[in-house]
Amino acid sequence: MSMEILIISGLSGGGKSKAASYLEDMGFYIVDNMPAVMMLKFAEFCSTGVSGRYDRVALVYDVRTADSFTDLFDVLDKLKAMDGTCRMLFLTAAPETIIKRYKETRRRHPLSRGSVSLEEAVRKEQELMQSVRDRADYVIDTTHLSTAQLRGELLRLFDARGVKGGMSVSVTSFGYKYGLPMEADLVLDVRFMPNPYYIEELRHKTGMDAAVYDYVFDFQQTKDYMKKLEDLISFTLPLYAEEGKTVLVIAVGCTGGHHRSVAVTRALAEYIRALGYQVTENHRDMTRGT
């Protein structure tokens, strides 16, 4: 069985559902409320799957499905002995934080029944789940984590590309004469660069042509600008990724969107790709008005 199994457990209100949704975005196949006695059979079923759909599976296990933790620990031992990877993630938070979350959502705690108060239920679950926490490979305390920070921590732990893998970057060229791209997060104005439009043999070419590209980058001011821009990009992209941004759109504009912006977009996209991010390169107005 060549597959990856992640068991997600933890306290009610600790962040299991949010973690599961982020892991699903990362390519895990999620099954909620999976009883321990079914995990082994499900793993065997997944190992015979096709198309890689079950290569990465995350099973959510919590106090609602816990008849006996002995069953869970027995299954864990068997899964870890199989050909593949089996790990357990435990999500927790301070009792005060969990109580606050339940009050905000007005949901009933699974152990809060009859005369049992919410505070008593939270304390009781904390005691019940301690042995599960002790067996976990990873423990994440979400008390002081924002949702973006939780996502970043999961990317760091379970995505080989780390936080970078959670954000794609789109670099697009445009012409100011046609308006700013509405979806742009960062806008770079390169109209200060020498304009190939005024060179007769370059006027009807674009930044995709080597002659135009070389002309734009032959000037020292372009080289200096790109060096400073690369410093800015290498500093800010990790911050955007850690903040939880999934798509960052960088727009590079010149007058018509044919020459300077296209050349700079090409160079910038190549640089960002070399940093390890997913990059798409677009040229909105390159063929417009030709």
The domain limits of the chain are 4-160, 165-283
Best CATH choice for the domain 4-160 from the list 3.40.50.1980, 3.30.1490.100, 3.40.50.300, 3.30.70.100: 3.40.50.300
Mean pLDDT (10-residue bins), the chain, 290 residues: 83 93 89 86 76 81 71 87 85 95 87 84 91 94 90 83 74 96 96 96 96 97 97 94 85 97 98 93 90
Q: Contact, 125 vs 92, CB < 8 A?
A: no
- Look at residue 139 in the predicted model and tell me its pLDDT: 96
Q: At 1, list the tokens.
A: 């069985």
- Look at residue 52 in the predicted model and tell me its pLDDT: 64
Per the document, the length of the chain is 290
